[in-house]
Structures are given as structure tokens and as C-alpha cells.
Amino acid sequence: MSQITVQKTVFNKDTYNRVIDTQFRQLINQGVTQESLSFTVDDFFQLYEDLFYQIQKEGDTNSHKYIIQKEADYLGVSINQDDIQALLDEITSLRQQVLETQQIINDLTKK
């Protein structure tokens, strides 16, 4: 049977705290620092552009509708679908009037 030699190193209290890491830093990924986790506003907008079409349109969270509502709340703006529809209807009506007016102008210039 072979013998295994075991060595024991003993540190006094002062030396122990300097030699042994009691903060468990060895378990944390050393490549990740607080600075590497932060990003700028430019970084945010670049990421937003990259992810734009991957974000769902509707939803209570993680959607374009959520972003719009969050921004409206921050800006103090009320989003009223009835108002939006009324404006869209008015735009449609005005476009129709422009087309009719252009047709009248075309008819008059031909004569």
C-alpha cells in the first residue's frame, strides 16, 4: 500500500484575510465588470434599431404598444384611439377633396 503525503498550511488571522479570498470573487466571471454591463443612450438606440422588427406590436409588456404607452405616460400625453381615428377619417376626407379638386382642375384645363 502506498502512502500519500498531505501538507497542511496554517495561516494566522491577519495573513489569512490577505491570502484567502473570502468574498467569493473566484466564482464571479472576471470578464464582466460594472463598466462592461453599462451602455450609452447611443448603444440603446442602436440595439432598438437592431431589434425593432423582433418586438411584437401588441402586448402588455415587451411590445411596441407598451413602449408607446410608457413614453406617453412619461411625457404626460394621452393616447385616445377615438381621437386618432377621427384624425385619420379627416385625413381621408381631405385627400378625397384634393382628388376631386384636381379632377375639376384637369377638366377645366382641357376645355
Q: What is the mean pLDDT of each run of 10 residues along the chain (111 residues)?
A: 81 74 65 68 91 92 91 86 89 97 92 70
Taking CA atoms, 72 is separated from 42, 79, 96, in Å, by 21, 7, 31
pTM beyond 0.85, yes or no: no
DSSP string, 29-61: -TT--HHHH---HHHHHHHHHHHGGGSBSS-SS
SS3 56: strand
β strands within the chain, DSSP E: none
Cα separations (Å) of 89 from 76, 85, 95?
25, 6, 10
d(CA 34, CA 87): 47
